[in-house]
Structure 1
Amino acid sequence: MAEVTRMQGDKLPLGRDALSVRRRVEAMEKLLERSFTIPGTRQTVGLDALIGLIPVGGDVITAVMGAYMLWEARNLGMSKGAMARMAGNVGFDWLIGLIPGVGDAADFFFRSNTRNLKLIRRHLDKHHPSTATIEG
């Protein structure tokens, strides 16, 4: 049975191939870091910053959502070093988020999911060059 690898409308691909994984992690990063534009500015925020406003529980929820990208990286066969760096990014974001006020402001400056997406893209571009996309 063939795997679903094409985008169908607004649905994310379900396949286990590198292109499907790339599209899913890019969508997760956009959801967590760049979902909304602050009116009157060019600054974007995502669910990471918004859910992070909920004391303690919000930071746990966003850390779990960020860990999804780590799970996808494991499925891609990324190196343990790169995955440790990704886990460090998520862990640092979670720890700093536990500090009231400071953690909420830090979400604008330390975007762990964007950093992790860059690591995944670097791996995909090196090991699966056919998944590369041209950004405009």
Structure 2
Amino acid sequence: MSQDLPVGKDPVSIRRRIEAMEKVLERSFVVPGINRPVGLDAIIGLVPVVGDIIAMGMGAYIVWEARNLGLPKWKLLRMAGNVAFDSAVGAVPFVGDVFDFMFRSNTRNLRIVKKHLDKHHPGSRVIEQ
């Protein structure tokens, strides 16, 4: 990333940090031949046990940032469920690796956060290119 991430507690700063983490975890680069974006979540998930724990921790960071935004508990539970489901199935050898490639819990969580921010903090909205 060529830009520095903001350290503030305002909705715009938190949104940018969550978007950056989601990009690193889910869309860091494109796999040649199939043109499918892949991120750190799928790569470190290939390492048994430790990789899945690290990926779960990084996904939990997005939920923690969402808590800082004041998302309702039911949305936080839904986000935590996405991370837990991804981690549980991702821990299964071989099948979990394919699942990590297809199921993008962090992208789902980013969508929940964006929807909340667009409704409650419209000033944080960014026009996507």
TM-score, structure 1 as length reference: 0.92
Instruction: Choose the corresponding residue for 1:130, options 115, 123, 129.
Output: 123
Which structure 1 segments of 5+ residues have no match?
1-8
User: Aligned residues, how many?
Assistant: 128
Q: Does residue 55 in structure 1 map to residue 51 in structure 2?
A: no
1:103 paired residue number:
96
Provide the rounded CA distance (Å) in 2 between the counterparts of 1:70 and 1:106: 21
Q: Which has the higher contact order (CA 8 A, sep 6+)?
A: 2
Q: Does residue 71 in structure 1 map to residue 64 in structure 2?
A: yes
Which of these two proteins has the greater Rg computed from alpha carbons? Answer: 1
Instruction: Choose the corresponding residue for 2:37, options 34, 40, 44.
Output: 44
Calculate the aligned-residue CA RMSD, in Å: 0.8
Q: Deviations over 1:38-79 (max 9, x none)?
A: 012320100000000000110000000000001001100000
Provide the rounded CA distance (Å) in 1 between the counterparts of 2:87 and 2:114: 23
Amino acid at match of 1:116: N
Instruction: Choose the corresponding residue for 2:87, options 72, 91, 94.
Output: 94
Q: CA deviation at 1:10?
A: 1.5
Amino acid at match of 1:63: M
The structure 1 segments of at least 4 consecutive aligned residues displaced by more than 3 Å after TM superposition are none
Provide the rounded CA distance (Å) in 2 between the counterparts of 1:135 and 1:110: 23
2:107 paired residue number:
114
SS at the partner of 1:55?
coil
SS at the partner of 1:44?
strand
Amino acid at match of 1:96: V
